[in-house]
């Protein structure tokens, strides 16, 4: 194929740019509750993300990526002209990366999945034709805008109410925290193991399903619970620290939980969302190497590394603004509230994956933060920030599509 090397170089640059955007925007989301609740510092968040996002991306990011992302478009009509798909994927990566850069600059937590899907739809409309777009799939994604934050908000509302009833609003919150937190820890371990199996391990060819997954997750839950109990026993509690804030000792216990959830969320996120950057990159590499369209192509390890490196750099260099928005601007978070957000977000991801709903980690986590805010009353929410976030979600698909169309025409003009 003419320009083969150029295409690969551009795909790597644009793929790195897109992965950088995922790091700046999406990973910042995954870490925001932990940082916002002051359970970890921003530097610790970057370190955790560097290790666990990278591990998730490289270990579970997909040995076989379906190169045409999520069956959003039908490319069977492109058999004779695979370079159109190469242009399209390059345009989609550049468009999604550009939108993520703008959104991260504004501090808007948007969905990287929707950014890339919108971009691919945009290129398909002008590059292949309206019929090539699987509109039913796009419809289910639009529905997920409502369902994923809603489910997560309801769950986090209920979980936080249970924390209030069992621990915070009792005569002896600290004693009750020591008693009940291990049960929450078991639930965290169980759910995060389920997320990893449902989202991550499929890619390495490890299909753990049904009761097997439940048994393994239960064992992981017990192990995490034992680890949590050990960490809680090591915490030094001082009466004086509760003078200014009645629940300071209780929140210390929840800080331990936040550390565990931050690590696990980062791993699950890396394994799942790195595909948004490397799916199109893998498609370009495969077409250039074979000269034809293949739905399945083995994924070279260097592509996963590009994704992993990009994500970590994006978070370290530019993740701060989105972390601030989700972690501090929607509602005030403490470790106990942040913990409820993460557990309900993880649970929603498991439920949605189980029933096959396309889901955005971003929307889920923001929904969960809203749910915790609601549990404290509507005044606990900063509604103008919430409005801005919702607006940014609605415009993500059309903006991705519009940018991709522009870049597709530019690339076409350069290479043809």
pLDDT single digits (tens) 141-187: 778 778 889 999 999 999 989 988 998 888 888 888 888 888 888 88
pLDDT over 90 (residue 27)? no
pLDDT surpasses 60 at 286: yes
Angle of helix 248-290 versus helix 173-195 axis, rounded to 10: 10
Domain extents in the chain? 4-415
Question: Looking at 317-321, 357-361, 393-397, which range is the least confident one?
Answer: 357-361
Residue 207: is it exposed, middle or buried by C-beta count within 10 angstroms (0-12/13-18/19+)?
A: exposed
| % residues pLDDT > 70 (the chain) | 87
Alpha carbon distance 387, 312 (integer Å): 29
70: confidence class by pLDDT, cuts 50, 70, 90: low
pLDDT of residue 46: 84
At residue 68 the predicted structure's pLDDT band, cuts being 50, 70 and 90, is very low
Can you say whether the dihedral through the CA atoms of 278, 279, 280, 281 is positive or negative? Answer: positive
Would the pLDDT of 233 be above 90?
no
Q: With bands split at pLDDT 50, 70 and 90, how would you rate the model's confidence at 63?
A: very low
pLDDT(346) > 70: yes
Strongest mean pLDDT among 12-16, 30-34, 73-77, 385-389: 12-16
Q: Band the pLDDT of 207: cuts 50, 70, 90.
A: low
Q: Is the pLDDT of residue 117 over 60?
A: yes
Q: Identify the residue whose tokens are 């986090």.
A: 156
Reported as a pLDDT band with limits 50, 70 and 90, residue 248 is: confident
Confidence of residue 230 (pLDDT cuts 50, 70, 90): confident
pLDDT confidence tier of residue 64, bands split at 50, 70 and 90: very low
Q: What is the pLDDT of residues 270-282, one digit of tens each?
A: 776 777 777 788 8
Asked whether the predicted pLDDT for residue 328 surpasses 90, the reply is no
pLDDT at 356: 67
On the question of pLDDT at 367 being above 60, the answer is yes
Give me the pLDDT at residue 122, please: 92
| Confidence bin at 338 (pLDDT 50/70/90) | confident
Give the pLDDT score at 390: 87
Q: Is the pLDDT of residue 403 over 90?
A: yes
3-state SS, one letter per residue, for 57-106: HHHHCCCEEECCHHHCECCHHHCCCHHHHHHHHHHHHHHHHHHHHHHHHH
pLDDT for 294 beyond 70 = no
pLDDT at 97: 94
Output the average pLDDT for the chain. Answer: 81
Answer for the pair 283, 215: CB distance below 8 angstroms, yes or no.
no
Q: What is the mean pLDDT of residues 63-88?
A: 67
Strand-pair partners of 66 = 296
CB 81: neighbour CB atoms within 10 A? Answer: 13
Closest of 266, 312, 265 to residue 22, by C-alpha: 312
Token reading at 13: 């640059």
The predicted structure's pLDDT at residue 65: 47
Helix 383-415 / helix 361-375 crossing angle, nearest 10 deg: 170
Res. 298 pLDDT band, cuts 50 70 90: low
The Cα 142–Cα 117 span in angstroms is 11
Contacts of 360 (CB under 8 A, 6+ apart): 111, 113, 114, 144, 145, 148
Which of 80-94, 96-110, 199-213 has the lowest average pLDDT?
199-213
* More reliable by pLDDT, 29 or 96: 96
């Amino acid at each position: 194929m003419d320009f083969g090397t150029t295409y690969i170089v551009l795909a790597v640059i644009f793929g790195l740019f897109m992965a950088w955007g995922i790091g700046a925007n999406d990973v910042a989301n995954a870490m925001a509750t932990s940082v916002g609740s002051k359970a970890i510092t921003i530097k610790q968040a970057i370190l955790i993300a560097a290790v666990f996002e990278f591990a998730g991306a490289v270990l579970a990011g997909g040995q076989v990526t379906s190169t045409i992302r999520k069956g959003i478009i039908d490319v069977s009509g492109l058999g004779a002209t695979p370079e159109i798909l190469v242009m399209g994927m390059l345009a989609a990566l550049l468009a999604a990366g550009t939108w993520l850069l703008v959104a991260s600059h504004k501090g808007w937590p948007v969905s990287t999945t929707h950014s890339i899907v919108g971009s691919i739809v945009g290129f398909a409309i002008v590059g292949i034709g309206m019929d090539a777009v699987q509109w039913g799939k796009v419809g289910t994604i639009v529905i997920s805008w409502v369902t994923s934050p809603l489910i997560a908000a309801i769950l986090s509302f209920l979980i936080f109410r249970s924390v209030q009833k069992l621990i915070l609003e009792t005569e002896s919150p600290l004693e009750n925290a020591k008693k009940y937190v291990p049960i929450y820890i078991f639930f965290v371990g169980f759910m995060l193991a389920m997320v990893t199996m449902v989202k991550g391990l499929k890619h390495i060819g490890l299909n753990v399903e049904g009761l097997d997954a439940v048994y393994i997750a239960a064992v992981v839950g017990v192990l995490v619970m034992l680890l949590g109990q050990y960490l809680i026993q090591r915490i030094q509690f001082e009466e004086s620290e509760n003078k200014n804030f009645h629940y300071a000792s209780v929140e210390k216990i929840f800080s331990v939980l936040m550390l565990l959830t931050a690590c696990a969320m980062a791993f699950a996120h890396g394994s799942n969302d790195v595909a948004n950057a490397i799916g199109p990159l893998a498609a370009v590499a495969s077409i250039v190497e074979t000269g034809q369209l293949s739905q399945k192509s083995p994924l070279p390890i260097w592509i996963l590394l590009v994704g992993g490196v990009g994500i970590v750099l994006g978070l370290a260099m530019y993740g701060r603004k989105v972390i601030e928005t989700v972690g501090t601007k929607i509602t005030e978070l403490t470790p106990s509230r942040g913990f409820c957000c993460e557990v309900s977000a993880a649970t929603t991801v498991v439920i949605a994956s189980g029933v096959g709903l396309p889901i955005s980690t971003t929307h889920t986590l923001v929904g969960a933060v809203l749910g915790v805010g609601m549990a404290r009353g509507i005044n606990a929410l900063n509604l103008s920030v919430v409005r801005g976030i919702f607006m940014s979600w609605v415009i993500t698909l059309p903006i991705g599509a519009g940018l991709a169309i522009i870049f597709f025409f530019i690339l076409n003009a350069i290479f043809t």
